Chains A and B, each alone.
Chain A
Amino acid sequence: MRHLRALLLTNLKASLALRGAFWARAVFMVLNNGIMLAIWLLFFLRYDSVRGWRAADTVSIYAVCATAFGLAVVLGHGVNDLARRIHEGGLDALLTQPKDVLLQCVGSRSEASGWGDLFTGVVLLAVGGHLTPAGIPICVVAALSGAAIFLASMVLFHSVAFWLGDTTAVSRQAVHFLLLFSLYPSTIFGGWLKLLLFTALPAGFIGYLPVDLLHRFSWGTLLAVAGAAVGYVALAALVFRLGLRRYQSGSRFA
């Protein structure tokens, strides 16, 4: 834990070193999120609901996803370069260190715009009336599990590089898909698409179930969300470890 804290503080210092760029990225991300949400709110002025999905649900899904995604990229933006590092032998330097390779790699960068996401998420949770004494623990579980699933999915998408070579573009595209599907009304998806959103692209566990949890708390949903977070993190760690056995040094200095 001490190591993790030191890693996070170092990254935060590095992002804050360019103070102007840090604030520009964070503030513009808040505006960016606000505009996207505004488009949906305008849509719901015209259409009351989409199969029972209302404007309040969209505010909640933006709140949950922005908080989770913000946390994920503030704490672990290093994962964004994982496929490239695997392909180019960039893990060499981490393998010689006594700490966990995956943790080092994931925590090696922090994205300043994530603070903007985090701020947006917390404000929207407050606007939605979820930051009450009873609601705060639920928000914390939703945000932490969402961030964990985001990071775990990113590790899974990028770890494919151990087997397929340079998959940076495909891996990043998969992350975009995850984010894309997380933000739309869950009621429009059914059948095989719904199955996909609770397995390979776990948008259901990042957005839909946590929103359900915020609006209609049930222990079953809470367990499903927390269980999914633990499951995806364990799966990501396992796949990364299996991949690491196949990893070959980049011999960059040879």
Chain B
Amino acid sequence: MHAHLFIPCLVEDCQPEAAEAVVEVLESLGVEARHPAGQTCCGQLAYKTGDAKNARLLALRYLEIFAAPGPVVCPSGSCVKMVRTYPELFAPGTPDHQRAVDLAARTFEFCEFVAGLPGADTLNAQLQVRACYHGSCQMPPGQSGGVDAPRRLLSSVRGLTLLEADRDDRCCGFGGIFSLQFSAVSQALVEDKCREIMVLEPEILVSAEPSCLMNISGHLARLGKGIPALHVAQVLAASLKKETPAWRRK
């Protein structure tokens, strides 16, 4: 089995370790990871500023990049949400709309994809750590209202203490362009979030949404309370290995 990697811009250049971890976890489950060239931005920024024209142009690029059949896997809930919105950008009945519907149906958030793989329940994962999980509001919901994929995966790691803050699914205040246009409100929200996380005294912060990780860990760093901020894939990859993970050696 193979999967195409859809690596968000933020991960490609600011959190490449998360993408490497995605590859490691997929390969450990027997999935060959392919990384189609030419990836830049899926169009989320344009779409969320109301710029449907540019969102459509960027969507067309991604329809090309991921034209080959097979599942597309992405370590970001919000980018997956964008691809699942692609069909809205094209007139129903057109070939582009059909391609958008097809791509949306085979694009998966990393945790969602991994949790659905046959070997996911029997992963021999072990990691002694107190991890605070931030359940991003951008993540796909759990199936029929059940526990969602990232929580299921993290719970399966032996030794991992899964901590969830008060109002764990509350927005961290990032919201892309919102954080610039409404910077005071955004800051107030990230302050709330960090306060609620820090009372748990976690060793690491974990999320499956890179933009939330950037926002929350950026504020924790400014408070002088920085802790490793990791994608779920990084935690899983570390828990599958014997050696001490890089973020712990520092």
Chains A and B form a bound pair? no
A→B interface (CB under 8 Å): none
